[in-house]
Amino acid sequence: MLVNFLIAGTQKGGTSALDAYLREHPQICMADKKEVHFFDNEKYFSSLKPNYDKYHSAFTPNALHKVIGEATPIYMYWDDAPKRIWEYNPDMKIILSLRNPVERAYSHWNMEVSRNQENLSFMDAINQEASRATEALPYQHRVYSYVDRGFYSHQLRRLWRYFPKENTLILRQEDLRLNPNETLRKVSEFLGLNDFPFVRAKKIHEIQYKNEISKLEKKMLINIFKNEILEIERLLGWDCKDWSEL
């Protein structure tokens, strides 16, 4: 048994909906639960030989399944994950769903507030992120990474050091939300499967915000991400003007 595809990011980028859609395809075996957290778990890599049997125990494939995959969105962000994934399966196919990094950051903060992991205001959390993140060194901070996770270009280049671009499928979260059937057609083609049956749009893990992001907060984040957005446009050939709109 070998897991041959991953939904590796980004957090708050529609990965829960994508995971749920893929479970509807008869040729896809998804992990028994979303977010296996194998390649970002330091204890599994504390020895020279990781226990892949532990990883494989998270899957229950059957004879109809042609591909086996899972969705753990921190893999894209975790520094050592791409190398570990490559050492496990150098032919792994990687699916990423990217979201406007401004919206992603605010959604991430709201999620942590709802989990009682965050007690700072959004503005204070952004301003203090760099200093708070040092608590997790030498690793990335799993909670206080609202801005840092939105610098996608660095994460993409790190993945591409190990995997050819043709082994990565990069989706826009907006497309998955607004036109799931066309997006899933791309996924099935990427994985070499029959087309998806028609699906109805899913709303999964959509948290109702107590307050919408303010114009001041949004303007601050647009300024933080302005060069990154331009770089994503260059790398992927996307038009991301809407990511910079107030």
pLDDT in tens, 56-76: 999 999 999 999 999 999 999
Exposed e or buried b for every residue in 13-47, given b needs 16+ CB within 10 A?
A: bbbbbbbbbbeebeebbbbeebbbebbbbeebbee
Q: What is the pLDDT of residues 67-109, one digit of tens each?
A: 999 999 999 999 999 999 999 999 999 999 999 999 999 999 9
For tokens 């494989």, name the residue: 56
Residue matched to tokens 């990565």: 168
**Would you say residue 205 has pLDDT above 60?**
no
Reported as a single tens digit per residue, the pLDDT across 19-58 is: 999 999 999 999 999 999 999 999 999 988 999 999 999 9
In the sheet with 28-30, reading across from the earlier edge strand, the strands are: 28-30, 67-71, 5-9, 93-98, 168-172
Domains of the chain, by residue range, sit at: 5-244
**Tokens standing for residue 93:** 């196919």
Q: Rounded to two decimals, what is the model's pTM? A: 0.94
**Which of 45, 57, 133, 55 minimizes the C-alpha distance to 83?**
45
Asked if residues 169 and 95 have their Cβ atoms less than 8 Å apart, the reply is yes
Q: Give the right CATH number for 5-244 from 3.40.50.10860, 2.40.160.10, 3.40.50.720, 3.40.50.300.
A: 3.40.50.300
Pairing between β-strand 67-71 and β-strand 5-9 as defined by DSSP bridges = parallel
Confidence at residue 204, expressed as pLDDT on a 0 to 100 scale: 67
